[in-house]
Protein backbone atom coordinates (compact mmCIF):
# COMPACT_ATOMS: atom_id res chain seq x y z
CA UNK A 1 0.00 0.00 0.00
CA UNK A 2 1.28 3.42 -0.96
CA UNK A 3 1.18 6.08 1.73
CA UNK A 4 0.95 9.65 0.46
CA UNK A 5 1.33 12.47 2.96
CA UNK A 6 -0.65 15.67 2.49
CA UNK A 7 1.48 18.58 3.68
CA UNK A 8 -1.09 21.36 3.13
CA UNK A 9 -1.28 22.14 6.82
CA UNK A 10 2.43 22.84 7.04
CA UNK A 11 1.61 25.71 4.69
CA UNK A 12 -1.42 26.59 6.85
CA UNK A 13 0.94 27.36 9.74
CA UNK A 14 3.17 29.45 7.48
CA UNK A 15 0.23 31.38 6.05
CA UNK A 16 -0.97 32.22 9.56
CA UNK A 17 1.95 34.71 9.61
CA UNK A 18 2.65 34.96 5.87
CA UNK A 19 6.36 34.35 6.45
CA UNK A 20 8.62 31.67 4.99
CA UNK A 21 8.39 29.06 7.75
CA UNK A 22 7.64 26.24 8.06
CA UNK A 23 8.48 25.32 4.47
CA UNK A 24 6.16 22.62 3.06
CA UNK A 25 8.85 21.48 0.62
CA UNK A 26 11.31 20.83 3.45
CA UNK A 27 8.54 19.01 5.31
CA UNK A 28 7.89 16.88 2.23
CA UNK A 29 11.53 15.79 2.11
CA UNK A 30 11.32 14.78 5.79
CA UNK A 31 8.14 12.83 5.00
CA UNK A 32 10.00 10.94 2.29
CA UNK A 33 12.73 10.05 4.79
CA UNK A 34 10.02 8.81 7.16
CA UNK A 35 8.73 6.34 4.56
CA UNK A 36 6.20 8.25 2.47
CA UNK A 37 5.65 6.88 -1.02
CA UNK A 38 4.49 10.25 -2.24
CA UNK A 39 3.48 13.78 -1.34
CA UNK A 40 0.03 15.28 -1.79
CA UNK A 41 -0.78 18.98 -1.99
CA UNK A 42 -4.00 20.81 -2.70
CA UNK A 43 -3.75 24.15 -4.49
CA UNK A 44 -7.08 25.68 -3.53
CA UNK A 45 -8.67 28.47 -5.52
CA UNK A 46 -8.49 30.75 -2.47
CA UNK A 47 -4.79 29.84 -1.91
CA UNK A 48 -5.43 29.49 1.80
CA UNK A 49 -2.42 27.22 2.37
CA UNK A 50 -0.39 25.93 -0.60
CA UNK A 51 0.71 28.68 -3.04
CA UNK A 52 1.57 28.43 -6.73
CA UNK A 53 5.29 28.77 -5.93
CA UNK A 54 5.03 25.80 -3.53
CA UNK A 55 3.59 23.66 -6.32
CA UNK A 56 6.49 24.50 -8.62
CA UNK A 57 9.10 23.99 -5.88
CA UNK A 58 7.49 20.71 -4.83
CA UNK A 59 7.55 19.40 -8.42
CA UNK A 60 11.30 20.16 -8.54
CA UNK A 61 12.15 18.69 -5.15
CA UNK A 62 9.97 15.68 -4.42
CA UNK A 63 11.89 12.51 -5.27
CA UNK A 64 9.04 10.02 -4.73
CA UNK A 65 5.82 11.08 -6.48
CA UNK A 66 3.62 14.14 -6.39
CA UNK A 67 -0.18 14.03 -6.22
CA UNK A 68 -1.70 17.42 -6.96
CA UNK A 69 -5.27 17.90 -5.75
CA UNK A 70 -7.17 20.51 -7.67
CA UNK A 71 -10.61 21.72 -8.61
CA UNK A 72 -11.57 22.25 -12.25
CA UNK A 73 -10.30 25.85 -12.26
CA UNK A 74 -8.66 27.04 -15.45
CA UNK A 75 -5.47 28.62 -14.07
CA UNK A 76 -4.80 25.70 -11.74
CA UNK A 77 -5.33 23.12 -14.47
CA UNK A 78 -2.86 25.09 -16.61
CA UNK A 79 -0.29 25.01 -13.81
CA UNK A 80 -0.84 21.25 -13.44
CA UNK A 81 -0.20 20.69 -17.15
CA UNK A 82 3.04 22.67 -16.83
CA UNK A 83 4.48 20.91 -13.81
CA UNK A 84 3.03 17.48 -14.74
CA UNK A 85 2.64 15.76 -11.34
CA UNK A 86 2.67 11.98 -11.15
CA UNK A 87 -1.06 12.16 -10.66
CA UNK A 88 -3.77 14.75 -10.28
CA UNK A 89 -6.78 14.26 -8.05
CA UNK A 90 -9.84 16.29 -8.97
CA UNK A 91 -11.78 17.47 -5.93
CA UNK A 92 -14.82 19.67 -5.41
CA UNK A 93 -14.30 23.04 -3.75
CA UNK A 94 -16.72 25.21 -1.89
CA UNK A 95 -15.24 28.48 -0.73
CA UNK A 96 -16.78 28.54 2.72
CA UNK A 97 -15.84 24.97 3.63
CA UNK A 98 -13.23 24.24 6.31
CA UNK A 99 -12.02 21.22 4.35
CA UNK A 100 -13.20 19.19 1.33
CA UNK A 101 -16.60 18.16 2.63
CA UNK A 102 -17.91 15.71 0.05
CA UNK A 103 -16.87 13.86 -3.08
CA UNK A 104 -17.20 15.24 -6.60
CA UNK A 105 -20.65 15.58 -8.10
CA UNK A 106 -20.33 13.50 -11.26
CA UNK A 107 -23.85 14.32 -12.36
CA UNK A 108 -25.69 11.15 -11.45
CA UNK A 109 -29.31 11.86 -12.40
CA UNK A 110 -28.61 15.40 -13.60
CA UNK A 111 -26.03 17.48 -15.46
CA UNK A 112 -22.45 16.72 -14.42
CA UNK A 113 -20.12 19.53 -13.57
CA UNK A 114 -19.57 20.79 -17.12
CA UNK A 115 -15.89 21.64 -16.72
CA UNK A 116 -15.00 18.19 -15.47
CA UNK A 117 -14.78 16.38 -18.83
CA UNK A 118 -12.72 19.15 -20.35
CA UNK A 119 -10.39 19.21 -17.33
CA UNK A 120 -9.85 15.45 -17.48
CA UNK A 121 -9.08 15.73 -21.20
CA UNK A 122 -6.54 18.53 -20.59
CA UNK A 123 -4.79 16.57 -17.85
CA UNK A 124 -4.72 13.37 -19.92
CA UNK A 125 -3.31 15.28 -22.88
CA UNK A 126 -0.44 16.43 -20.65
CA UNK A 127 0.24 12.78 -19.76
CA UNK A 128 -1.03 13.06 -16.18
CA UNK A 129 -2.80 10.15 -14.50
CA UNK A 130 -6.17 11.35 -13.17
CA UNK A 131 -8.01 10.32 -10.03
CA UNK A 132 -11.47 11.54 -8.98
CA UNK A 133 -12.29 12.13 -5.32
CA UNK A 134 -15.77 10.65 -4.87
CA UNK A 135 -18.15 9.26 -2.30
CA UNK A 136 -18.34 5.47 -2.06
CA UNK A 137 -21.52 4.87 -4.05
CA UNK A 138 -22.13 2.69 -7.09
CA UNK A 139 -23.74 5.25 -9.40
CA UNK A 140 -20.86 7.71 -8.89
CA UNK A 141 -18.29 4.96 -9.42
CA UNK A 142 -20.05 3.97 -12.68
CA UNK A 143 -19.84 7.56 -13.84
CA UNK A 144 -16.13 7.78 -12.91
CA UNK A 145 -15.47 4.67 -15.01
CA UNK A 146 -17.38 6.22 -17.93
CA UNK A 147 -15.23 9.34 -17.66
CA UNK A 148 -12.20 7.20 -18.49
CA UNK A 149 -9.99 8.00 -15.50
CA UNK A 150 -7.41 5.54 -14.15
CA UNK A 151 -8.29 5.91 -10.49
CA UNK A 152 -10.75 7.08 -7.88
CA UNK A 153 -10.09 8.25 -4.35
CA UNK A 154 -12.87 7.17 -2.02
CA UNK A 155 -13.88 9.83 0.49
CA UNK A 156 -13.41 8.30 3.95
CA UNK A 157 -14.99 11.25 5.79
CA UNK A 158 -18.18 9.41 6.70
CA UNK A 159 -16.13 6.49 8.01
CA UNK A 160 -13.93 8.87 10.03
CA UNK A 161 -16.95 10.57 11.56
CA UNK A 162 -18.91 7.44 12.39
CA UNK A 163 -16.53 4.49 12.80
CA UNK A 164 -16.98 4.39 16.57
CA UNK A 165 -20.74 3.92 16.41
CA UNK A 166 -21.29 1.84 13.28
CA UNK A 167 -19.63 -0.78 11.05
CA UNK A 168 -21.67 0.42 8.09
CA UNK A 169 -19.36 3.13 6.72
CA UNK A 170 -16.47 0.65 6.64
CA UNK A 171 -18.65 -1.92 4.90
CA UNK A 172 -19.66 0.74 2.41
CA UNK A 173 -15.98 1.42 1.66
CA UNK A 174 -15.29 -2.30 1.24
CA UNK A 175 -18.19 -2.79 -1.16
CA UNK A 176 -17.37 0.34 -3.15
CA UNK A 177 -13.73 -0.71 -3.42
CA UNK A 178 -14.46 -4.13 -4.92
CA UNK A 179 -17.10 -2.63 -7.19
CA UNK A 180 -14.60 -0.08 -8.53
CA UNK A 181 -11.85 -2.69 -8.92
CA UNK A 182 -14.21 -4.85 -11.00
CA UNK A 183 -14.71 -1.87 -13.30
CA UNK A 184 -10.93 -1.62 -13.73
CA UNK A 185 -10.38 1.44 -11.56
CA UNK A 186 -7.43 1.80 -9.19
CA UNK A 187 -8.72 2.69 -5.73
CA UNK A 188 -7.20 5.28 -3.40
CA UNK A 189 -8.76 6.51 -0.16
CA UNK A 190 -8.48 9.44 2.18
CA UNK A 191 -9.86 12.22 4.31
CA UNK A 192 -10.16 12.22 8.07
CA UNK A 193 -7.89 9.19 8.53
CA UNK A 194 -5.96 9.21 11.80
CA UNK A 195 -3.62 7.01 13.85
CA UNK A 196 -6.74 5.66 15.60
CA UNK A 197 -8.94 4.85 12.62
CA UNK A 198 -6.55 4.08 9.75
CA UNK A 199 -6.06 0.35 10.19
CA UNK A 200 -9.46 -1.05 9.15
CA UNK A 201 -9.25 1.00 5.94
CA UNK A 202 -5.63 0.02 5.32
CA UNK A 203 -6.72 -3.61 5.71
CA UNK A 204 -9.02 -3.44 2.65
CA UNK A 205 -6.73 -5.31 0.26
CA UNK A 206 -7.77 -3.67 -3.02
CA UNK A 207 -7.09 -0.12 -1.78
CA UNK A 208 -3.67 0.72 -3.14
CA UNK A 209 -3.06 4.22 -1.82
CA UNK A 210 -3.94 6.32 1.22
CA UNK A 211 -3.75 10.12 1.38
CA UNK A 212 -3.38 11.40 4.93
CA UNK A 213 -2.68 14.94 6.07
CA UNK A 214 -4.12 16.62 9.13
CA UNK A 215 -3.51 13.86 11.66
CA UNK A 216 0.15 13.46 10.64
CA UNK A 217 0.89 17.19 10.59
CA UNK A 218 -0.79 17.46 14.01
CA UNK A 219 1.34 14.67 15.46
CA UNK A 220 4.45 16.20 13.91
CA UNK A 221 4.15 19.15 16.29
CA UNK A 222 4.88 16.72 19.11
CA UNK A 223 7.34 14.24 17.59
CA UNK A 224 8.60 15.78 14.32
CA UNK A 225 7.24 14.99 10.89
CA UNK A 226 9.65 12.21 10.02
CA UNK A 227 8.70 10.26 13.16
CA UNK A 228 5.01 11.05 12.64
CA UNK A 229 5.16 9.55 9.15
CA UNK A 230 7.12 6.54 10.38
CA UNK A 231 4.44 5.83 13.01
CA UNK A 232 1.68 5.98 10.40
CA UNK A 233 3.74 3.84 8.03
CA UNK A 234 4.05 1.14 10.73
CA UNK A 235 0.29 1.15 11.40
CA UNK A 236 -0.54 0.90 7.70
CA UNK A 237 2.00 -1.85 7.05
CA UNK A 238 0.84 -3.82 10.11
CA UNK A 239 -2.76 -3.71 8.87
CA UNK A 240 -1.90 -5.28 5.48
N1 LIG B 1 -7.71 13.30 0.11
C2 LIG B 1 -8.30 14.41 -0.41
C3 LIG B 1 -8.87 14.34 -1.78
C4 LIG B 1 -8.35 15.61 0.32
O5 LIG B 1 -8.94 16.69 -0.20
C6 LIG B 1 -7.74 15.64 1.60
C7 LIG B 1 -7.73 16.92 2.37
O8 LIG B 1 -7.05 17.89 1.67
C9 LIG B 1 -7.12 14.48 2.08
C10 LIG B 1 -7.15 13.32 1.34
C11 LIG B 1 -6.44 14.44 3.41
O12 LIG B 1 -7.38 14.59 4.41
P13 LIG B 1 -6.90 14.75 5.93
O14 LIG B 1 -6.13 16.02 6.01
O15 LIG B 1 -8.18 14.78 6.68
O16 LIG B 1 -6.03 13.57 6.22
Q: Which domain holds residue 171?
A: 2-239
CATH of the domain at 75: 3.20.20.70
Q: Is 156 near ligand 1, meaning CB less than 6 Å away?
A: no
Q: Give the ligand 1 atom nearest the CA of 193.
A: 16
214 lines ligand 1 (CB under 6 A): yes
Cite the DSSP H helix spans in 126-197.
138-146, 157-162, 168-182
* DSSP code for 36: -
Rounded CA gap, 124 and 119, in Å? Answer: 9
Task: Please identify, by atom number, the ligand 1 atom nearest to the C-alpha of residue 188.
Answer: 1
Q: How far apart are CA 12 and CA 32, in angstroms?
A: 20
Q: Whole-angstrom Cα distance, residue 147 to residue 125?
A: 14
Alpha carbon of 157 to ligand 1 centroid (Å) = 9
Check: CB of residue 152 under 8 Å from CB of residue 187: yes
Q: Is the CB of 119 under 6 A from ligand 1?
A: no
Residues 6+ apart with CB under 8 A from 18: none
- pTM, whole model, 2 decimals? 0.95
Domain count for the chain: 1
Residue 145 · residue 185 · CB < 8 Å = yes
- pLDDT tens sequence for the chain (240 residues): 999 999 999 999 999 999 999 999 999 999 999 999 999 999 999 999 999 999 999 999 999 999 999 999 999 999 999 999 999 999 998 766 777 778 888 876 555 566 899 999 999 999 999 999 999 999 999 999 999 999 999 999 999 999 999 999 999 999 999 999 999 999 999 999 999 999 999 999 999 999 999 999 999 999 999 999 999 999 999 999
Amino acid sequence: MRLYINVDHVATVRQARRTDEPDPVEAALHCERGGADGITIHLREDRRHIQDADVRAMAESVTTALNLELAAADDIVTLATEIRPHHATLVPERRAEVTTEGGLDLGVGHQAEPRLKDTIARLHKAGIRVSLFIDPDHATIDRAAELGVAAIELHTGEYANRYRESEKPLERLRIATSYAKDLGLAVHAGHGLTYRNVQPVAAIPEIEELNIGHSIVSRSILVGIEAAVREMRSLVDAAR
